[in-house]
Amino acid sequence: MKVSDAKIIDLPKICDPRGNLTVVEELKDIPFKIARCYWIYDVPGGESRGGHAHKKLKQLLIALSGSFTVTLDDGTEKKTILLNHPYQGLILETNIWRTLDDFSSGAVCMVLASDIYDPDDYIYDYNEFIEYRKHLDG
């Protein structure tokens, strides 16, 4: 996947005077089955999350509350995307270096992931990531 392919998707939003509702169904609203859900919260001002790539894992990131930026890097190109609506999501395909920054006060980042936690799926070293991408991209 290239960074230029990354985009924010609009999720179904059911507007209601009692409060709105957004839903995600696997293989319908997102192109993978959901094996795991986790969320990042209480991020102190100025802190950064992420800073790695995944070899096989696909993810959907949603700003359930507040806002944060996601910087994507495919080894050639970088792009920074602001997530600030609970009815939008960013699909992260495989082999993209990502960093999450600029968390607003009270921001909650929910992640729907295509697989259970596997430390061996991570690339934590940026130079290793660049070499891995070169190998993949031929």
In this chain, which stretch among 5-13, 18-26, 36-44, 59-67 interacts with ligand TYD, using CB under 6 A? 36-44
d(CA 16, CA 4): 35
Under a CB-based contact definition with an 8 Å cutoff, are residues 54 and 132 in contact?
Answer: no
52 among known catalytic residues: yes
Among 117, 134, 136, 137, which residue sits at the site for ligand TYD (rule: CB under 6 A)?
117
> Helix, strand, coil % (nearest 5) of the chain?
15, 40, 45
Shortest Å distance, C-beta 48 to ligand TYD: 8
Terminal CA-to-CA distance of the chain, rounded, Å?
A: 13
Among 9, 24, 40, 64, which residue sits at the site for ligand TYD (rule: CB under 6 A)?
40
Q: b/e for 63-79, b at 16 or more Cβ within 10 A? A: bebbbbbbbbbbbeeee
Shortest Å distance, C-beta 119 to ligand TYD: 7
Q: Tell me: does residue 66 bind ligand TYD (CB under 6 A).
A: no
d(CA 126, CA 16): 45
Among 13, 50, 121, 132, which residue sits at the site for ligand TYD (rule: CB under 6 A)?
50
Q: Which residues bind ligand TYD (CB under 6 A)?
A: 36, 38, 40, 49-50, 52, 117
Catalytic residues: 52
